[in-house]
Structure 1
């Protein structure tokens, strides 16, 4: 109770999420009036997953000061791990049903050969890659959703933080990691079907008779629950002594190290935690998207994630959610052809082609003139202002409330 009172935004966010979930359920095609289409429900569910990734990004960047341009790699890895089980189990059902019509019962070897042929025939191989060794087991693949991105974050973070790489150099390294992983997955011999990626992920094994209307709302509920639980967890992490230390590292890392704190340990923990959160978000996102390929690991995706957090308000957890939801939904509207083209003297302004320019311009304007982002507007309404230090500087991070931010 004391924790909730010290974080008024926590109650507002959880209550808003509950009301939003209820309204969407009532208006859905699966369990409501049908006002909202199944495709739009999936868009909302995917948006919640992106908000979850933005929440992780705000923790690692807004609170710990680590500008990672590679967190969408963890997001995609989570999607690949769960996608392997979805594709394998669904293909196994199809192959088993097809072989059952032959009169004689199929042997396990025949079923295995059929699965391998269906999944990997497109890349010209007849053998199941060793990384698919646990694809038949949902619990083991869910464990890999956490372990694979977590271990990658552990190895990368330990090497980078131990070498005391900071600032723009660390950002470049995270982007290089993402690019290297994407280039590897583009190869057919990577074991993940190369450029073809994994498809048919929207079909849950054992639920072939369940309509997409119902499945879409189930995933929407799961995404909303994951976002709410992650908000509770991260709010708790940043509210105590740990939160004070990582904010101190963000503002003056050398001083914190001089005081005897293990700066590398704190940064590594935050990096791993946010990587796992992003992976879980990806594991919920791609079954709703239905497909994943190496293009999802493009470095631009992680840059978009940073843009969402900056526009929403860095160092404000609710700001990250607002920024991700606002920009991703607006992006769907512009790039989906719903925004009307604007005739101009020199030609026609087509938003599908110019949306990214508008997004980049918005990021520049927010960085220059509104470092608090959209979340700063809510701070003003709530009466939260930067502390009055009678002319003394706020420190390296002028966009944060610093002394009062732990109360939000």
Structure 2
């Protein structure tokens, strides 16, 4: 009985210390429910399927932004390689999606034959369909579990998690910090991207994995319904990720990782195993990023090595800085704002502006304005949009 009371009290104290968690979950629920009723699949049809997909992908980017804020904003590790984990999560689930979809196509093509095909014929046909584009026909060993959804879901967690664990252990035990650690994480991302660009990597080189929006065995289900399913899944994982990150940064553990961010030498002098704390946060955030990627790329429909380019991880740091690092909701705001604005400006939803002597094409100039925005936030609002929200809330409390 006493244990139950302690559990209830600890839960209450967590919620009281973090009222933003309840606010965030309420806002996320309202957005998800509202989008559901306004979608093509259910309700009013005011939101197109493409926008539902954009919204679902935005929620996935918000989840990886939380991971970035946790590792950088709270622990002080400026990782420029977390998009590599995001991409690896996409590749792991993409292998199952592409294999099973291709298997369905192959089986349908064999359906009219008098003699049933052998397992070897089916395997050869699948290999030719998937790897013929890179001049191959044999299914690589890394696709061994591609026919098992459960195995690939485990690999979504294990592959990025093990990579982060090994990389972090080597880097942190050598006490690599600051800009040198950032360069190392960027080098890791570049090396992985260059490897995946090779045709003999086993992942179709520059072609990547495509057709991921088609769920195997559900060819009769429309994309409007599937996109809504992924929106729900993305919203649920974003809520879980926010709760997990909020719990991690609360209490003694949160104070320690903030101490590592502010004065690592002092925390080590006090007797705390700094490397263990940093390794835990680095690995945990890599797994969160991978889960976000596993939900993102089926909605995008395709993944290729260009998605793992180092510039993507730099963009991620920009999103968190604009939103306000060290504030989980700030990271979400920054990622959501930049993602939705980028979709609007690069998707032709915002008309170009004729200036007389030239025409302002948003597709060409959007990243330039994003860079200016980052500079302005750094100079005049170093705490980001989240800092402005904090200031408004404090003024409201004072009145």
After superposition, the Cα gap between the structure-2 partners of 1:92 and 1:384, relative to the gap in structure 1 and judged at 3 Å, is farther
Deviations 1:159-206 (A, max 9, x none): 111111111111111111101100000000000000000000000011
Specify the alignment match of 1:153 in structure 2.
164
C-alpha displacement of 1:376: 1.1
Q: Indicate whether 1:353 and 2:340 are aligned.
A: no
Whole-Å Cα distance in 2 between the matches of residues 327 and 289 of structure 1?
A: 17
Question: Which one of the candidate residues 111, 115, 120 is aligned to 2:126?
Answer: 115
Distance in 2 between the 1:279 and 1:88 partners?
20
Distance 1:172 1:366 in 2: 24
Residue of structure 2 aligned with 1:187, choices 175, 198, 217: 198
**What residue in structure 2 maps to residue 315 of structure 1?**
326
Query: What's the CA shift for 1:149?
Result: 0.3
SS in 2 for 1:327: helix
With 180-189 and 97-106 compared, the bigger mean Cα shift is at: 97-106
Q: Which residue of structure 2 aligns with residue 264 of structure 1?
A: 275
Establish whether residue 67 from structure 1 lines up as the match of residue 70 from structure 2.
no
Q: Which residue of 1 aligns with 2:8?
A: none
Unaligned runs of 5+ in 1: 386-408
Q: How does 1:5-404 map to 2 (within 5 A)?
A: 5-383=16-394
Q: CA deviation at 1:345?
A: 5.0
Q: Report the Cα offset of residue 333 of structure 1.
A: 0.7
Q: Does 1:2 find its partner at 2:13?
A: yes
What number of residue pairs does the alignment pair up?
Answer: 385
1:84 and 1:98 mapped to 2: Cα distance? 21
TM-score, normalised to structure 2, is 0.95
For the aligned residue pairs, the C-alpha RMSD in angstroms reads 1.1
Q: Distance in 2 between matches of 1:347 and 1:98?
A: 54
Q: Which runs of 4+ in 1 moved over 4 A?
A: none
Structure 1 range deviating more: 338-347 or 200-209: 338-347
What CA distance in whole angstroms lies between the structure 1 residues aligned with 2:298 and 2:352? 32
More helix by share: 2
1:344 Cα deviation from its structure 2 partner: 2.5
Cα deviation 1:338-372 (Å, max 9, x = unaligned): 22222225422211111111111111111121111
C-alpha separation between the residues in 2 aligned to 1:101 and 1:277?
Answer: 45
SS of 1:383's partner is: helix
Cα distance in 1 between the residues matched to 2:304 and 2:98: 13
Runs of 5+ consecutive residues of structure 2 not aligned to the other structure: 1-11
User: Aligned partners of 1:252, 1:384: CA distance in 2, in Å?
Assistant: 31
